Amino acid sequence: MGSDVFQEGIVAGRLDPDSYGAHFSDLHPRLDPHEALVAADRCYFCHDAPCITACPTDIDIPLFIRQIATGTPDAAAKTILTQNIMGGMCARVCPTETLCEEACVREAAEGKPVLIGQLQRYATDHLQEQGVHPFTRAAATGKKVAVVGAGPAGLSCAHRLAMLGHDVVVMDAAAKPGGLNEYGIATYKTTDGFAQDEVEWLLKIGGITLQYGVTLGDGVTLETLQAGYDAVFLGMGLGGVNALGTDGEDKAGVIDAVDFIADLRQASDVAAVPIGRDVVVIGGGMTAVDAAVQAKLLGALNVTLVYRRGRDRMNASVFEQDLAASKGVRIVTHAVPVAVHGNGTVREIEFEYVDDAMKGTGQMLRLPADQVFKAIGQTLKGEGLPALEGRKIKVSETGQTSVKGIWAGGDCASGGDDLTVTAVAEGRDAAIDIDAALRA
């Protein structure tokens, strides 16, 4: 983060050294075998299970829980991974409380759902730790597919294509694969290098080659990819960050939240990551909450998350909002930034309160700040892309774009919500459609 550009209030090592291990430990530690059996025993194994419908990847949840209950966690893992090859990561970061667990019959009856996410992690971790891959490749087809982006959508697409017998080249701008899973998720949600371990395990299917430092539009175009490959899948996510559009936004200390999270994720020692005394996070999604919570965990004295609408409109789930509050994050709603104050570096940030129609009320709020994290959404980057729908690539239900032979999925594509599990589903479904097209 280049500490030389910040004022003296931004420092590393604010806490006692022993505190960091506890602060950045696993948010939901894995169930032990006995805990898993007890949790699985609560499932009604519904015939028309609403939890399946609520899962973006359509995992047969009652089946895998029954398999855990009968002492076959590896079989349960295969049930999960057949639908969601990144089931291990999704078990850690998926907002299960607003998806499968919210739909659980136990939740409706008792207010306490079956621990579907934790059971999914128990099974997938058990299998992955065996070092084996449960799937094998089909006979080689001789077809070659380019996948742009080594995030959840791209890797999911690549794995399914490889399973179906195609050769796949995955290109990514970063130095490591994983995309959002590696660079964009709170450290306490995915500990001990799990993101890279999962990618290495996924690649055991064979037939997938990774290329790093490759950016669409910079040396690689859709035309060159179409000329060199039988099909192309775009899963590069959203590379740009929206601007605040306020005076003083260019002052030192005003940072993109995604960069802060990436720096923390890549740090060999989280205690070495500098943090301010007074931190303000602008936004209402998962990225905003992750940045705010981690700022507090690093030792920031005051952390305020400011969102322009009410809490009921925040993209971050109620669980995430409550997590932030429990860590000492103050949440301010119905306020928009109007100016960043300071002499070269941020000292204060000024907001105006707005009503539900986003109309200014004239009431102002000034917060002291030596760091401001922007988490107000990301934008699509790239030149010569297929037709857009709004700010994203327009796609069909199976991921086809306006250009024949090119598919897209994940955050860069129109349609679904910006979740890891949705990206995995879109990559998988596009791969199935690509396979059908290549065999036609």
Integer CA distances (angstroms), 36 to 15, 47, 54, in order? 35, 22, 22
Residue 275 has pLDDT above 50, yes or no: yes
Please, which residues have CB within 8 angstroms of residue 130's CB and are 6 or more apart in sequence? 74
Provide the greatest CA pair distance for the chain: 67
Residue 257 has pLDDT above 70, yes or no: yes
Dist CA 168 CA 161 (whole Å): 7
Dist CA 408 CA 413 (whole Å): 6
Average pLDDT over residues 7-16: 87
Dist CA 306 CA 316 (whole Å): 13
Average pLDDT over residues 313-328: 96
Residue 6 has pLDDT above 70, yes or no: no
Dist CA 114 CA 268 (whole Å): 36
* pLDDT for position 4: 40
3-class DSSP string for 15-73: CCHHHHHHHCCCCCCCCCHHHHHHHHCCCCCCCCCHHHHHCCCCCCHHHHHHHHHCCCH
Q: Tell me, what DSSP letter sits at residue 277?
A: S
Dist CA 222 CA 90 (whole Å): 30
β pairing state of 144-148 and 167-172: parallel
CA dihedral sign of residues 198, 199, 203, 205: positive
Amino acid at 426: E
* pLDDT for position 383: 79
Please, which residues have CB within 8 angstroms of residue 68's CB and are 6 or more apart in sequence? 36, 37, 40, 76, 119, 122, 123
* pLDDT for position 212: 96
Average pLDDT in the chain: 95
Q: Hey, what domains does the chain have and what are their CATH numbers?
A: 33-128 (1.10.1060.10), 144-239+380-439 (3.50.50.60), 241-377 (3.50.50.60)
- pLDDT band at 9, cuts 50/70/90? confident
* pLDDT for position 7: 59
Contact of 76 with 116, CB cutoff 8 Å: no
Closest CA to 426 of 400, 406, 388: 400
- pLDDT band at 1, cuts 50/70/90? very low
Helix %, strand %, coil % for the chain, to 5?
A: 40, 20, 40
3-class DSSP string for 303-349: EEEECCCCHHHCCCCHHHHHHHHHCCCEEECCEEEEEEECCCECCEE
pLDDT in tens, 94-149: 999 999 999 999 999 999 999 999 999 999 999 999 998 999 999 999 999 999 99
Residue 387 has pLDDT above 90, yes or no: yes
* pLDDT for position 319: 94
Average pLDDT over residues 278-300: 97
Residue 326 has pLDDT above 50, yes or no: yes
- pLDDT band at 417, cuts 50/70/90? confident
Dist CA 323 CA 27 (whole Å): 10
Dist CA 294 CA 329 (whole Å): 10
* pLDDT for position 207: 98
DSSP states of 367-404: EE-SEEEE-S-EE---SS-S-EETTEE---TT-B-SST
Q: Tell me, what DSSP letter sits at residue 416?
A: S
* pLDDT for position 8: 65
Average pLDDT over residues 265-292: 96
Residue 2 has pLDDT above 80, yes or no: no
